[in-house]
Chain A
């Protein structure tokens, strides 16, 4: 291990050591407050190191690749974990189960996500994925022997094992064909293959896509996601919606970033169908949901369908601009916008639930938001902004993401998928507006009072999220130029 490698992997080293230290401390003396502080501190230091590295470091080995894009996205993932870790304390303090283990799992899941995000090799990809998934399983079931949570945990365990099995099979066939597990080389080889006489290879790719679709809960493989979001404790659901999905999406973006897949017409067709189905099914399932967690789960299906649209727009020979960078930028910008907005939304839900409600089954209904605007105007305005950002209304970061997406898709001339995007967006607008409307309604007389648990950290998180959502929405110029610089 030389110095350059050590420096490139410093954020990982910090997070892993934090996880180890937390574990050792837990073994010696359980002190919740102390451990909570330590986890957040570890993530904070890792975030600072990662941010400093963003445009300073380029490191590539057989297993990992750490370039500008990876560093930027890793920084955002660590940021997401940090925000969520700040909100964990009041909930964990209230449960009877041991509390400290949650932090260990939380840090390990973050670490797994970072490895997946930087993986340049199917080996490191799979290891990172399993580290993340297996840490998330107990986190899903982490609640006082609650039947619903256990059910969700088992569901996640079984389904993620099936997805992993599909992926392993795919990786094995790919290795059998190409003799390498390095992602870049596999993609290069794929470009030279003609699609007609490689049934087995195509099967491998399809298996890989099935696995990825399960993990990302894309359309035909989405059935588990709502039960899981509803059954898991809120912070775990937040991690599932952000970290676990984003990390895999980043690998997918990397796989497709050269655009050489467009030789494989049938694979592109399959992904197009998945994208269209996700956009439409996700939004329409969310349409009349009463439980916000289920609604967000279905909505996240649609959002990843949108990002697939950007990935499909990466074509080697574009009719309009002859460059693949725009679609890549679009995918990354949209992912960033999604992460910031969704982590903000979950933070507010966590802040608004009292400790008992954090326990699954999470019955956070839309009805609970009724009249929030007149009791907690600041929180409610932030939540409104976040919902508007998720629908892509201007002056929020979500709009810039959607603008990138439309531009990239028009550039790639994906007209049918754009039609699905419009239909999906209108449906999406309906349910987000419904929630905004309910917040503005009159409050019921007998409604219980709303309190913000954990006010200091809570308001800090809200402030940061608002600043990001509005700031990147009104002045996206710097970040846009920065991402362009990273990619080209």
Chain B
């Protein structure tokens, strides 16, 4: 029950936080932070294993595998399992959840109990998504996490919150329904061919669908994940949702929610439909390249700092898509690292924008400027994360983008060259942030610099990024556990996987 406990701690924490609002409005945030820290407790033995005794559990892909019956009518089980990739993303979720609680510490003053309730429940849903191995259970978590996030944006958001929240929900729900159809079709075709009715990922994994059917079923999953990621024709909800959401929720959206899309591609689309994925790979690579450049160009055109960071997310997540469909080990490693690094660096940028907005009540690039003169600590930290976001070697984002590009070049050189130009555009919009906010003449008044809480928060994220940039091998090893299970037909055998020492 280790994994179920992980989710239950967050759910119970959420309810307790809500109830404690009656006692004091400061209590909920402490409860939220504590329950996030406590939720690491069930994972303690695994973390110790990995930190001090590397390689002891590589013989099985699943570090923990828990299964109990749920709906016997359809042979649906409450099946949670943890492998390298899910472990990385669960840790990212918990740590960024903690960051989100810290950013909300002073910003959220109204109805704190209900706010932290929604925050913890959405994190519980996301963790469920990363752990569920039963397709029905996966879908349940996928949909359930939307409701608290919808409420977070709609109640605590900025000026245009209702529109943004509605758009966010409708886009993801449309994808969700398509995925539900695909899940149904996949399960029924499997039943028709084998006589076994199962929603279990492992049961469906080694089954080949008829070609035509596989293509359509795959497309349903792909669109659902592409909306979440988001990829250009479906990215429309993201800038609005990010801009209107309170800082903590922007952090959650950027750090965790977008990753569910990338996770879905790596966990479900590629292994379940290898042939169909190979078939659409060239088109997807083209879309990914376009996404990278379009996101970067749009980012540069923004006046609203938060919107700019949101569009840069579109560009960065294009690299994840590029990495997923390049069909080489390096590119997949790169996609995973890029997800983690983007999660940290973009969260940090949103936290910074939140800190600026908290001080100056504006996010308009034209009104900001010269902040270095009055709040040097914030500006210095800001410069660090801006540079991280543009892909400076030595920081996490560089490793991710570099691996993606190296991995993709061998299979799709043209699209890779296209995508690489996105790095230059990234430098342009990133430096524009630095130039327009931190340097130049001071346009606004004095303000208080980062306090100790904010410093701790920013520093921990900076350390994470530096660690990812200098020593990414443990992360690659963990991700490799998951990639080892990919069907042989997916990757060309000539290429040696980067992180395997056997």
Contact = CB atoms under 8 A, between A and B. Distances in A.
A393 B192 contact: no
A369 to B, nearest CB: 14
Contact of A476 (B71, B111, B146, B192): B71
20 contacts: A393-B143, A393-B147, A395-B144, A403-B180, A406-B180, A407-B187, A407-B188, A418-B181, A422-B174, A422-B177, A422-B181, A426-B173, A429-B170, A430-B166, A437-B162, A440-B154, A477-B71, A480-B72, A481-B72, A481-B73
B188 A426 contact: no
Contact of B73 (A399, A422, A477): A477
A312 to B, nearest CB: 16
Contacts of B150: 433
B185 A410 contact: yes
Contacts of B283: none
A410 B144 contact: no
- Interface SS of chain B: helix
Nearest to A411: B188
A410 B184 contact: yes
Interface of A: 319-321, 374, 388, 393-395, 399, 403, 406-407, 410-411, 418, 421-422, 425-426, 429-430, 433-434, 437, 440, 476-477, 480-481, 484
Given A393-B144, A426-B174, 11 more contacts: A320-B189, A403-B136, A403-B180, A406-B184, A410-B181, A437-B166, A440-B151, A440-B154, A477-B70, A477-B71, A480-B72
A331 B17 CA distance: 40
Interface in B166-223: 166, 169-170, 173-174, 177-178, 180-181, 184-185, 187-189, 191-192
Nearest to A483: B73
A484 B189 CA distance: 21
Given A422-B178, A426-B173, A481-B73, A395 B140 contact: yes
A137 B146 CA distance: 43
B155 interface: yes
B214 to A, nearest CB: 15
Contact of A484 (B69, B73, B144, B162): B73
B170 A406 contact: no
Contacts of A440: 151, 154-155
B174 A320 contact: no
A302 to B, nearest CB: 14
A388 B147 contact: yes
A437 to B, nearest CB: 5
Contacts of B144: 393-395
B165 interface: yes
A418 B155 CA distance: 33
Interface string B98-135: 00000000000001000000000000000000000000
Contacts of B71: 476-477, 480
B236 to A, nearest CB: 14
A437 B165 contact: yes
B372 interface: no
Contacts of A319: 192
B108 to A, nearest CB: 15
B184 A407 contact: yes
A266 B373 CA distance: 78
A403 B137 CA distance: 12
B139 interface: yes
B74 interface: yes
Considering the complex of A and B, which 8 residue pairs feature the smallest CB-CB distances, nearest first?
A480-B73, A410-B184, A394-B140, A477-B71, A320-B188, A394-B143, A320-B192, A407-B184
Contacts of A430: 166, 170
Given A418-B181, A425-B177, A481-B72, A433 B166 contact: yes
B155 A480 contact: no
A440 B155 CA distance: 7
Nearest to A391: B173
A212 to B, nearest CB: 28
Contacts of B136: 403
A386 to B, nearest CB: 14
B191 A321 contact: yes
A313 to B, nearest CB: 11
B311 to A, nearest CB: 25
A430 B163 CA distance: 11
A394 B139 contact: yes
A385 B329 CA distance: 45
B435 to A, nearest CB: 39
A264 B337 CA distance: 58
A394 B183 CA distance: 15
A321 B74 contact: no
B169 A433 contact: yes
B140 to A, nearest CB: 4
A380 B184 CA distance: 33
A426 B173 CA distance: 7
A25 B136 CA distance: 54
A437 B154 contact: yes
B291 to A, nearest CB: 24
B72 A477 contact: yes
B91 to A, nearest CB: 26
B73 A429 contact: no
Nearest to B177: A422
Contact of B170 (A320, A394, A403, A426): A426
Interface string B39-83: 000000000000000000000000000000111111000000000
